[in-house]
Amino acid sequence: MPTDIQWFPGHMAKARRLLQENLKLVDAVIEVVDARIPSSSRNPMLEKTVGNKPLLVVLNKSDLADPHLTVRWEEYFKGRGMDALSVDSLRGIGVGGITARVKQMAGNKTISLGSSGRLPRPPRCMIVGIPNAGKSFLINRLVGKKAARTGNKPGVTRGQQWIRVGGQIDLMDTPGILWPKFDDPEVGFRLAVTGAIREQVFDLEAVAGRLGLWLAEVYPEKLKARYRIELPHHLDAEGTLGLIGQSRGLIQQGGRVDTYKAAVLLLKEFREGVLGRFTLDLPPSPD
Binding residues for ligand GDP, per CB under 6 A? Answer: 3, 60-61, 63-64, 88-90, 129, 131-137
Q: Which residue is nearest to ligand GDP (CB)?
A: 134
Minimum distance of Mg ion from residue 141's CB (angstroms): 13
Nearest 5°: the CA angle 101, 105, 110 is 110
Minimum distance of ligand GDP from residue 6's CB (angstroms): 15
Task: Give the DSSP letter of residue 133.
Answer: S
Task: Give the DSSP letter of residue 178.
Answer: -
The answer to whether the beta carbons of residues 55 and 28 sit under 8 Å apart is yes
Instruction: Name which of Mg ion, ligand GDP, none residue 63 binds, using a CB cut-off of 5 to 8 Å depending on partner kind.
Output: ligand GDP
User: Is the CB of 136 or the CB of 150 nearer to Mg ion?
Assistant: 136
Residues in contact with Mg ion, counted by CB under 5 A, come to a total of 1
List Cα–Cα distances, 14 to 49, 64, 158, 264, in angstroms: 14, 32, 16, 35
Write out the binding residues for Mg ion, residues 131-190 only, by CB under 5 A. 136
Minimum distance of Mg ion from residue 137's CB (angstroms): 8
Give kind and range of the element (H or E) at residue 119: strand 118-121
User: Is the CB of 242 or the CB of 277 nearer to ligand GDP?
Assistant: 277
Minimum distance of Mg ion from residue 120's CB (angstroms): 32
List Cα–Cα distances, 237 to 74, 145, 234, 267, in angstroms: 33, 47, 10, 13
Instruction: Name which of ligand GDP, Mg ion, none residue 83 binds, using a CB cut-off of 5 to 8 Å depending on partner kind.
Output: none
Give kind and range of the element (H or E) at residue 259: helix 259-272
Instruction: Name which of Mg ion, ligand GDP, none residue 49 binds, using a CB cut-off of 5 to 8 Å depending on partner kind.
Output: none
Residue ranges that bind Mg ion, judged by CB under 5 A: 136
